[in-house]
Amino acid sequence: MSTIVKNIVRFCVLILFQVYVLDKIRLHQMVTPYIYFIFILWLPFKINRTLLMLLSFILGMTLDSFRHHPGFHAAACVLMAYVRPFIINLMIPQEGAETNYEEPSFRSMGGMLPYLIYSGLLILLHNSWLFLLEAWQFADVWYFFLKTLLSTAIGLLLVLITELLFSRNQKFKTNTI
């Protein structure tokens, strides 16, 4: 499957899963389970940064249009997309690893831990920016922190489960063609 088709399918499936499965689960008011941003986590290494931000913006706006108040998730997703290349640069094990594999995964990031740190940091950014925008003030700082941390933990758990369930077998590409 070509990269474009694969990503379009992912986009639709993730949005529908987020809206009709995860949003219907009411765990607790402190925990909002999110998984749709795994679309951004899984985009190829070599994607143009402008395109990356644009795609994330569209992803966020799509989710927002299901929730009838535009802007919140779009802003959080764009922040994620902007920071993603920096974190990949920090986490990538050796020079040239991003040319050997197509997209971030356990294998291409060189193990489970770097990948989880990569996704954890991005999820934390997404959640804190989202909840900050939603609350629009720092009135209840502890509430905000606790909600962000708990939601990030659940988000990370969901990402881990998704990774283990849908193992993406990526071929090792040599750059000596």
In the complex with other proteins, the residue whose CB is nearer, 76 or 109, is 76
Helix (H, G, I), strand (E, B), or coil: what is residue 150? helix
Q: Hey, is 10 helix, strand or coil?
A: helix
Report, in Å, the least distance between residue 82 CB and other proteins. 4
Measured from the CB atom, the residue of 24 and 171 that comes closer to other proteins is 24
Cα separation, 88 vs 98, in Å, equals 9
In this complex, which beta carbon is closest to other proteins, that of residue 90 or of residue 133?
A: 133
Query: Shortest CA distance to 107 belongs to which of 122, 117, 92, 119?
Result: 92
Binding site for other proteins (CB under 8 A): 16, 20, 23, 26, 29, 32, 49-50, 53-54, 57, 60, 64-72, 74-75, 78-79, 82, 133-135, 143
Q: Which is nearer to other proteins, 41 or 75 (CB)?
A: 75
Residue 63: CB minimum distance to other proteins, A? 10
Q: Shortest Cβ distance from residue 70 to other proteins (Å)?
A: 4
For residue 26, the Cα-to-chain-centroid distance in whole angstroms is 21
- 85 and 43 in contact (C-beta within 8 Å)? no
| Amino acid present at 60 | G
